[in-house]
């Protein structure tokens, strides 16, 4: 099991540790609800060093990333970030990812921790078609980079104290290379998976401890706290953000998952993996759709629970569920037959053989985000 450069800090702070994607990661410190509310109201810090980072470089970099991902990479300009996914060539999704445009011939792909090897193998299989050599133009830097996600409405205000360039007015999904805590060429990105604003900072592993200490010192006056993976999951779920292995997998298409907005069929996009199949799904419809739902009856939906109609006939399955720390009600996401996907439709979640009423709602669940 791997450790991140921040693992000693987690242990020192008394975090509850557990294996996740091959890493020894903090699940919680003071408690999931308290940590969740810290991010919604102030500022919290996540160790996300387990995420993967792959560089794509050279004159064919754009064509390669454009073919391999669903979104239109040509729409990016240097300093912009894009959410996308890798279609798997069979109608499913290899992974979802972030695409960073460094310049016209340099892209950074940030991928999910549990999928690093799978994604790398997938990319290496396609790279030769574009004249890219794994280890050269295509380079896996996942074990060399650490990353902190500083999230919450006070995050940028706190981080401005240790940055040598203005960051408080940065637009969502943009980034800068700057000096952070005396560390040159750090990537400072206004991204994150919480819906409460903030940033993600990438530095070399050797600079990790220096970054950690500076971040917590800068955020002390704003009530900064370390946050575990437990609250990371409840925060993303309140926003209706997909999680690979739950809402997304190798048997689920981006159209089914409600990710048509990152699946582009324009002339500028050109050809890409599964283009014809996904276009057919867009035009003709799909047999199931991802929805968000709120419990009407008292109960907490969980991953894998069956979704039924009022008579108990199966119509779908829960992919994620929790008791919302902000809304104080059970919330969930799941796939249902299209006839049950409309807002305000009544559905039922099977909990211990009991059918508990729920209703389909518009995402996100949590509306007062920054």
Pick the CATH number of 7-51+144-238 from 3.40.50.300, 3.60.20.10, 3.30.450.30, 3.30.1360.120: 3.30.1360.120
At 92-111, the pLDDT tens digits run 999 999 999 999 999 999 99
Q: In 3D, which of 11, 27, 41, 50 has the Cα closest to residue 231?
A: 27
Task: Say what the pLDDT of residue 369 is.
Answer: 46
- Extents of the domains making up the chain: 7-51+144-238, 52-140, 287-370
Rounded distance, CA 53 to CA 82, Å? Answer: 14
Q: The domain at 52-140 falls in which architecture?
A: 2-Layer Sandwich (3.30)
| 364 pLDDT higher than 70 | yes
Instruction: Tell me the percentage of the chain whose pLDDT exceeds 70.
Output: 99
How high is the pLDDT of residue 248?
98
* pLDDT one-digit tens code per residue, 173-219: 999 999 999 999 999 999 999 999 999 999 999 999 999 999 999 99
Average pLDDT, the chain: 97
CA angle (13, 17, 18) in 5-degree steps:
170
Residues 6+ apart with CB under 8 A from 320: 233, 237, 243, 246, 247, 303, 332, 333, 334
Tell me the CATH architecture of domain 287-370.
Beta Barrel (2.40)
Distance (Å, whole) CA 214 – CA 203: 13
Question: Smallest Cα–Cα separation from 287: which of 253, 320, 261, 318?
Answer: 253
Quick one: average pLDDT of 285-303? Answer: 98
In this predicted structure, the answer to whether residue 370 has a pLDDT above a threshold of 90 is no
Please report which helix (H) or strand (E) contains residue 330, including its range: strand 330-336
Report pLDDT for 175: 98
Percent of the chain as helix, strand, coil, to the nearest 5? 25, 35, 40
Q: In 10 A of CB 158, how many CB atoms?
A: 26
Q: Beginning with the edge strand found earlier in the chain, give each strand of the sheet holding 138-140 in spatial order.
A: 81-87, 93-103, 106-111, 52-57, 138-140
When pLDDT is averaged across residues 136-148 and rounded to a whole number, the result is 98
Q: What is the pTM of this model?
A: 0.97
Gap between the Cα atoms of 254 and 228, Å rounded: 28
Give the chain's radius of gyration (CA, Å). Answer: 21
Tokens 């969740």 belong to residue: 36
Tokens of 27: 């699940």
Nearest to 306 by CA among 337, 266, 348: 348
| Structural contact between residues 100 and 106, judged by C-beta atoms closer than 8 angstroms | no
pLDDT in tens, 81-96: 999 999 999 999 999 9
């Amino acid at each position: 099991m791997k450790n991140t450069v921040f693992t000693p800090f987690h242990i020192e702070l008394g975090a509850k540790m557990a294996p996740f994607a091959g890493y020894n990661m903090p699940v919680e410190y003071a408690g999931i609800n308290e940590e969740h509310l810290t991010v919604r109201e102030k500022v919290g810090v996540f160790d996300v060093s387990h995420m993967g980072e792959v560089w794509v470089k050279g004159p064919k970099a754009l064509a390669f990333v454009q073919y391999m991902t669903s979104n239109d990479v040509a729409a990016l300009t240097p300093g912009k970030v894009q959410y996308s996914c890798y279609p798997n060539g069979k109608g499913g999704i290899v992974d979802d990812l972030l695409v960073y445009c460094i310049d016209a011939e340099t892209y950074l792909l940030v991928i999910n921790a549990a999928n690093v090897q799978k994604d790398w193998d997938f990319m290496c299989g396609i790279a030769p078609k574009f004249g890219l050599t794994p280890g050269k133009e295509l380079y896996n830097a996942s074990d060399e980079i650490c990353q902190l996600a500083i999230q919450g409405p006070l995050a940028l205000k706190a981080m401005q104290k240790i940055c040598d360039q203005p960051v408080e007015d940065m637009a969502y999904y943009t980034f800068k290379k700057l000096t952070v805590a005396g560390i040159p060429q750090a990537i400072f990105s206004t991204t994150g998976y919480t819906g409460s604003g903030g940033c993600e900072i990438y530095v070399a592993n050797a600079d990790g401890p220096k970054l950690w200490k500076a971040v917590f010192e800068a955020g002390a006056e704003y009530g900064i706290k370390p946050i575990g993976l437990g609250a990371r999951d409840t925060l993303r779920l309140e926003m209706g953000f997909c999680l690979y292995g739950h809402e997304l997998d190798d048997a689920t298409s981006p159209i089914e998952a409600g990710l048509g907005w990152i699946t582009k069929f324009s002339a500028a996009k050109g050809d890409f993996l599964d283009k014809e199949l996904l276009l057919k799904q867009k035009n003709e419809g799909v047999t199931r759709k991802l929805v968000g739902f709120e419990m009407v009856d008292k109960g907490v939906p969980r991953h894998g629970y069956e979704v039924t109609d009022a008579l108990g006939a199966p119509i779908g399955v829960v992919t994620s569920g929790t008791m919302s720390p902000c809304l104080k009600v059970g919330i969930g996401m799941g796939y249902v037959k299209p006839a049950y996907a409309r807002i305000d439709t009544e559905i039922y979640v099977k909990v211990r053989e009991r059918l508990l009423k729920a209703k389909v709602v518009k995402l996100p669940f949590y509306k007062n985000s920054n």
